[in-house]
Structures are given as structure tokens and as C-alpha cells.
């Protein structure tokens, strides 16, 4: 059994969920759109990973900064 899709020239086989095209250029266009969506999804995933890494590095820098400030305060107390 076939079901219409929102794109002219494409139909979906409901038995196996396959995408069927009566027009080869339509099928190639769909494949290209799918590749683009996958690439965008992968890029977004990479961006989210980098955001988490930056957040972690920023937290580590804040900890280092606090340790240095504590050390400077202790040095100032000994010198006073």
C-alpha cells in the first residue's frame, strides 16, 4: 500500500516504510536534502559538545583563579 507524501513525485510504501519516486531527480533531491539535514545535525551536536567543553574549561579557570587569589592573600598576610 502506498501513501502520498507532501512532495510531488514521492510516495511512501507503508509495508516497509520505503520512499519511492516516480521521478529520479526527485529522489536524488530528497537524498541530498537528507544528507544536508544529517550534516546540520552532526554540526549542531559538535557545537553542543564544544559548548560543554568550554563551560568545563571556564569552571576550571575560575577554580585556578580562586586558588591564585587565596595564595596571594596568604602571601600578603605573611608580608604584613
At 23-66, the pLDDT tens digits run 778 778 889 999 999 999 999 999 999 999 999 999 999 999 99
Nearest to 29 by CA among 52, 8, 57: 8
User: What pLDDT shows up at residue 80?
Assistant: 67
**Counted domains in the chain:** 1
Predicted TM-score of the model (pTM): 0.60
The answer to whether residue 54 sits within a structural domain is yes
The answer to whether residue 9 sits within a structural domain is no
User: What pLDDT shows up at residue 44?
Assistant: 98
Give Cα separations from 72 to 44, 58, 60 (angstroms).
Answer: 42, 21, 18
The answer to whether residue 69 sits within a structural domain is yes
Where in the sequence is the domain holding 41, given as residue range(s)?
25-80
Compare 36 and 77 and report the one with higher pLDDT. Answer: 36
Above 70 in pLDDT, residue 17? yes
Nearest to 10 by CA among 18, 25, 19, 2: 19
The answer to whether residue 15 sits within a structural domain is no
Amino acid at each position: 500500500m502506498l501513501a502520498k507524501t507532501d512532495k510531488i513525485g514521492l510516495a511512501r510504501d507503508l509495508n516497509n516504510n520505503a520512499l519511492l519516486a516516480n521521478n529520479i531527480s526527485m529522489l536524488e533531491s530528497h537524498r541530498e536534502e537528507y544528507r544536508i539535514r544529517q550534516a546540520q545535525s552532526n554540526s549542531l551536536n559538535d557545537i553542543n559538545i564544544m559548548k560543554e567543553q568550554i563551560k568545563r574549561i571556564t569552571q576550571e579557570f575560575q577554580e585556578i583563579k580562586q586558588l591564585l587569589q587565596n595564595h596571594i592573600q596568604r602571601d600578603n598576610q605573611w608580608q604584613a
